[in-house]
Amino acid sequence: MKKNKTLFTIAILFFVAHISVAQSVFGKWKTIDDRNGKEKAVINVYEKNGKMYGKIIKIVDPKRRDAVCEKCEGDLKNAPVLGLHIIKNAEKTDKNEYKGKYLFDPEQAMTFRCKIWLDPEDSDKLKVRGYLAFIYRTQTWIRVKE
């Protein structure tokens, strides 16, 4: 009887650990263009000093892998898109989402305010919303399984 309780407890702990890992916003995410449905890049979303950051670690289209930020200004002018930080300093809210003032789109060379959260129906989907004034667009990114 004691052995069964121990096995049951271990099984529950593994299950809870699996759920908590699967429900993290942090990890690698494949971006999907909300206009044409095409895969574009893989973003490493990570935490640093309690804030969310995201960096482009792969460009899906082989023809675009050497792309540079042509429309950018300042330090980002002609910087390689691969390696760019597109999310900086997003802070967790009490609603289990992250909000920030830096969501960068290298194709448009524009920075947006953002809200980022896991899809409540599927923790392998990340909702990424960029705001420009009161207008917004939301993309759904797909978790990269390693």
Q: Does pTM surpass 0.75? A: yes
Q: Which residues contact 143 (CB under 8 A, 6 or more apart)?
A: 27, 28, 29, 30, 123, 124, 125, 126
Angle formed at CA 44 by CA 41 and CA 45, multiple of 5 degrees: 120
CA–CA separation, 34 vs 31, rounded Å?
9
C-alpha–C-alpha distance, residues 111 and 91, integer Å = 16
The dihedrals phi and psi of 135, each to the nearest 5 degrees, come to -95, 140
User: Average pLDDT in the 78-98 region?
Assistant: 96
Q: Over the stretch 4-58, which tens digit does the pLDDT of each residue have?
A: 554 444 444 444 444 444 589 999 999 998 888 899 999 999 999 999 999 999 9
Residue 1: per-residue pLDDT? 57
Q: What is the pLDDT of residue 137?
A: 94
pLDDT in tens, 119-141: 999 999 999 999 999 999 999 99
Q: pLDDT at position 45, please?
A: 98
- The one-character DSSP state at 50 is T
> Domain map of the chain by residue range?
27-143
- Fold annotation for 27-143: Lipocalin (2.40.128)
